[in-house]
A and B are shown apart, each in its own frame.
Chain A
Amino acid sequence: MDGNKKINPIKLFTSFFLVGAFTFGGGIAMIPVIEREVVTKNKWLENDEFLDVIALAQSSPGPLAVNTSIYLGYKLASLPGAIFSALGTILPSFLIMLLVATVFTSIRSLKIVDSIFMGIRACVVSLLLSAIISITKRSKFKIPSYLIMLIVTLIVSLYGISPIFVILVGGFGYILYKLISLKFRRDENVR
């Protein structure tokens, strides 16, 4: 078990409460915010470990942010950590939606609400862009990695290929590549 970092579950709760409260649009849009909390601000994880967690969360069913928070919770403070992180992530949504459910009809017609959300959406793009730049820089990608990244981008956005599928192909494909290249090296050594 590697859940030995002993982070206070309450601290996890507040971090993930911020993540839940400040990310709009859900899904991958939440990654930069989680990254900032977990890697940049609190230094609970290395960049590479963080990417591993995202990969696991992406390939499991359910909301990405919830999966990520549960896994990180286990990793940083075992079961209490998982429970507190999950509750932290969903509580802002829960409270806001209760409010919305009661006042939705009156708010919806306000033009200013619309404008506020247009501004927020533009900022989401810059958050994502900033995240992808720091991730590629910190992972020290070489040309093959950039090529794979480009191919994934194209097939997912143009052909709507399922993310789970590309994740599995990427992971098992690399295992296969390693096994084959190791076998070749061994054959050369024999000669």
Chain B
Amino acid sequence: MHLLNLFISFFKIGLFSFGGGYAMIPMIKTEVVQINSWLTNSEFIDMIAVSQMTPGPIAINLATYIGFQVNGPLGAVVSTLAVILPSFIIMTIIYLLVSKLKGSKYMDWFFTGLRPVIAGLIVSAILMVLPSSIVDIKTFIIFALSFVLVHFKRFTQFL
């Protein structure tokens, strides 16, 4: 029964949260804290912190962690797969649609119009992470150094 609940909750989270990352947090909280009481409110906040500090998408991190807490390794597998299943189905449909429409001028125009919008979204992401990232002179120096390395030296993160 636990497994089925985990599956349904995380499938819903994957299906209804747009924008990814921080935008998914309120949705996850409703399912995990309010509806199912799998975590208390303060445990949930701690988990958000851990998910931000560990690599990978936040929704995946939370799904794996909560699944494990509720039903061990099997719970972790079920909730992680459940959270990406909607993505898989929807991206499959979108891919098929886009392949069909390829070469249509409307499709081209749509994407041309999107480019500056996406660039603006990335800038607003920078503004969003800035206050918690560069907090003193030390973090600023790390930022400046890593920027020079990454941008001008074309350093790859994984050597």
A residues near B (Cβ < 8 Å) are 1-3, 18, 20-31, 33, 36, 40-41, 48, 51-52, 54-67, 70-71, 74-75, 82, 86, 89-90, 92-94, 96-98, 100-101, 104, 108, 113, 117-136, 139, 141, 144-146, 148-153, 156-157, 162-164, 166-167, 169-175, 177-178
In angstroms, Cα B125 to Cα A101, docked, is 29
Contact A141 B122 (CB under 8 A): no
Contacts of B86 in A (CB 8 A): 61-62
- Choose one: B54, B116, B129; the contact of A152 (CB below 8 Å): B116
- Subset of 27 A-B contacts with CB under 8 Å: A2-B99, A22-B158, A23-B56, A26-B51, A26-B57, A28-B20, A40-B156, A48-B115, A51-B118, A66-B84, A70-B92, A89-B57, A93-B56, A94-B64, A96-B56, A108-B50, A120-B53, A121-B129, A121-B139, A122-B143, A123-B142, A135-B118, A139-B119, A148-B116, A149-B119, A163-B121, A171-B113
Contact B151 A63 (CB under 8 A): no
Contacts of A21 in B (CB 8 A): 55-56
Q: A62-B14, A98-B73 are in contact. Are A149 and B114 (CB under 8 A)?
A: no
Having A74-B91, A135-B118, one finds 6 other A-B pairs with CB under 8 Å, namely A25-B52, A55-B117, A89-B57, A119-B142, A152-B119, A171-B117
Contacts of A41 in B (CB 8 A): 156
In angstroms, Cα B57 to Cα A86, docked, is 12
B interface residues, tally (CB under 8 Å): 85
Cβ of B68 < 8 Å from any Cβ of A?
yes
Which of A59, A60, A62, A127 has the most C-beta atoms of chain B within 10 angstroms of its own C-beta?
Answer: A62
B residues near A (Cβ < 8 Å) are 14-24, 46, 50-61, 64-65, 68-69, 73, 76, 80, 83-84, 86-88, 90-92, 94-95, 98-99, 102, 105-106, 109-130, 132-135, 139-140, 142-144, 146-147, 150-151, 154, 156-158
CB distance from B58 to the nearest CB of A (A): 4
Q: How many A-B residue pairs have CB under 8 A?
A: 336
CB distance from B113 to the nearest CB of A (A): 2
Give chain A's interface secondary structure class: helix
Give chain B's interface secondary structure class: helix
Contact A150 B80 (CB under 8 A): no
Which of B80, B122, B133 has the most C-beta atoms of chain A within 10 angstroms of its own C-beta?
Answer: B122
Q: A29-B21, A90-B60, A170-B116 are in contact. Are A130 and B139 (CB under 8 A)?
A: no
User: 9 closest Cβ contacts across the A-B interface?
Assistant: A174-B113, A27-B21, A152-B120, A93-B56, A62-B87, A126-B147, A170-B117, A64-B20, A63-B57
Contact B143 A86 (CB under 8 A): no
Contact B24 A122 (CB under 8 A): no
In angstroms, Cα B146 to Cα A83, docked, is 33
Contact B57 A93 (CB under 8 A): yes
Contact A166 B88 (CB under 8 A): no
